[in-house]
Structure 1
């Protein structure tokens, strides 16, 4: 099983519990780790045999840029559910980072990781 990592996918979205976070978009960063069988790609050197990074990045950016959730946990689950349509492999690990959380005297980052081997059906209505 091979693993492809797509890191630093920067998106802008209204995600947060505070009222101002629900109306003012803020930067988020998404990192994906996808486990796939890429043996055919390593043998034949054809794009059809691997993950098309461009489509994957565009799909994630669209989902995040159009999101409006109170929690990054729900956003991470919404991204994970894209896997059903995008053939992202047997396992997916998603990290959503909020680099500039509006918390007084806090200069750190908020991160949530979602690691799934199967989609939890019924967890979120899309």
Structure 2
């Protein structure tokens, strides 16, 4: 996959949710906090020239869809949760070319004093 380092993107970082995703029974019963970071790749040339929100994707619409996808079913793996969110974003927003998602579990049931468990995935529309 080529690098996305020099491409246009919308960034939403530190989105916080409470959910019941996980393998352990405690995670399913008690739930825990999750954080999601997103980079959404799309050409923003027209939006930059026109200053028209219709030429891009509304941050509010992105957030609403991520929240809906996060809550609509439970997953054992945060890998599956991340894939599901990306699939829903590609399904809803035709302008998207690629997505980078990081799903973090700050309170994963691990014997660590500080830190978090996380996954990060990058996919193009064709890879979903």
Shorter-chain TM band: 0.7 to 0.9
Deviation string, structure 1 residues 4-63 (Cα, Å, up to 9, x no partner): 111111111111111111222211011110111111111110110111000100110121
1:50 equivalent in alignment to 2:56? yes
Correspondence for 2:23: 17
| Secondary structure in 2 matching 1:108 | coil
1:81-114 CA-to-partner distances (Å, cap 9, x unmatched) read: 0112223511100110001112224421011011
1:109 aligns with 2:106: no
| 1:19-98 alignment, distance < 5 Å | 19-82=25-88, 83-87=90-94, 89-98=96-105
Distance 1:120 1:23, change over 3 A: farther
**Structure 1: distance between partners of 2:82 and 2:95:** 15
Q: CA RMSD in A?
A: 1.5
The count of corresponding residues between Structure 1 and Structure 2 is 121
Partners of 1:67 and 1:119 lie apart in 2 by 24
Matched position secondary structure for 2:26:
helix
Question: Please, what TM-score do these two structures have when normalized by structure 1?
Answer: 0.88
Moved more, 88-97 or 112-121: 112-121
Moved over 4 A (4+): none
Which blocks of at least 5 consecutive residues in structure 1 are unaligned? 122-126
